[in-house]
Amino acid sequence: MTRVLLIEDDPAVRRGVTLGLRRNGHETEAVATGEDGMESLAPFAPDIVLLDLMLPGMSGLETCRRIRETSQVPIVILSARGDDVDVVVGLEAGADDYIVKPASGEVIEARMRAVLRRVAPTQSSPGSDGPLLYGDLEIDGTAVRVCKHGRELVLAPSEVKLLLFLSAAPGQTFSRRQLLEAVWEHSYYGDARLVDACVKRLRAKIEDDHGNPRYVQTVRGFGYRFGPL
């Protein structure tokens, strides 16, 4: 059973989403504020967090940042149309995906399942026969673990899945659309900001020089590839 922490201040939305989640067999805890969400995080130990951006008191963005200080639990942002700037900031703060409200229960369920699949290892993950070493970067696809200079890095699920996918084909360039379909299981190109925000966060953790990345390299006008070649 998946444990879902829903942080949503609108009573009608909170009630509707909670009913849908429980109908699909998820253990759900629903709270109205970021402060209450933070208090529930440790004792409830959710498998995934659904987080509204527009919250009273502590904003959704600040809540996202605070969750990321202590946990790598998958976070999916719930946003209203017109929140594009905040969505990008939320993704850069550590969220793994976003859903535009109002959204059907089927859409929420599909996005949640896609995010949760990123946490699990796959047969095609690099390192299926053992960790792979690229300079000072060690990638273990079986254990879903990444180390740099021998120290394990704390990566969000989308960051891990993106790195595993790129490193499985060193030197091959992938378009943002290809990465969306492979990592986020989206096909709408307008969601390319998911890719760019994730790359920015990943580089901050694995690169020595963010301005001159060694591992996740930009192919201008097309997408990204994994180096060194």
CB 50 within 8 A of CB 17: yes
Query: Can you tell me the mean pLDDT for 141-155?
Result: 83
Domain 132-226: which CATH class? Answer: mainly alpha
CATH 1.10.3720.10 fits 3-117, yes or no: no
Distance CA 26, CA 21 (A): 5
Contact 131, 140 (CB under 8 A): yes
pLDDT, tens digit, for every residue of 28-80?
Answer: 999 999 999 999 999 999 999 999 988 999 999 999 999 988 888 999 999 88
pLDDT of residue 225: 94
Region 151-160: mean pLDDT is: 85
pLDDT tens column, 186-226: 765 557 788 888 899 899 999 988 788 999 999 988 899 99
Residue type for 153, please? L
pLDDT of residue 115: 86
Catalogue the long-range contacts made by 207-215 (C-beta closer than 8 Å, 24 or more residues apart): 214/135, 215/134, 215/137, 215/167
pLDDT tens digits for 100-145?
A: 888 888 989 988 998 888 766 544 444 455 678 888 888 887 767 8
pLDDT on residue 103: 85
Domain ranges of the chain: 3-117, 132-226
Own/partner pairs, 169-172, CB within 8 angstroms, 24+ separation = 169/226, 170/134, 170/225, 170/226, 170/227, 170/228, 170/229, 171/225, 171/226, 171/227, 171/229, 172/225, 172/226
| Cα–Cα distance for residue pair 224/221, rounded to 1 Å | 10
pLDDT at 129: 58
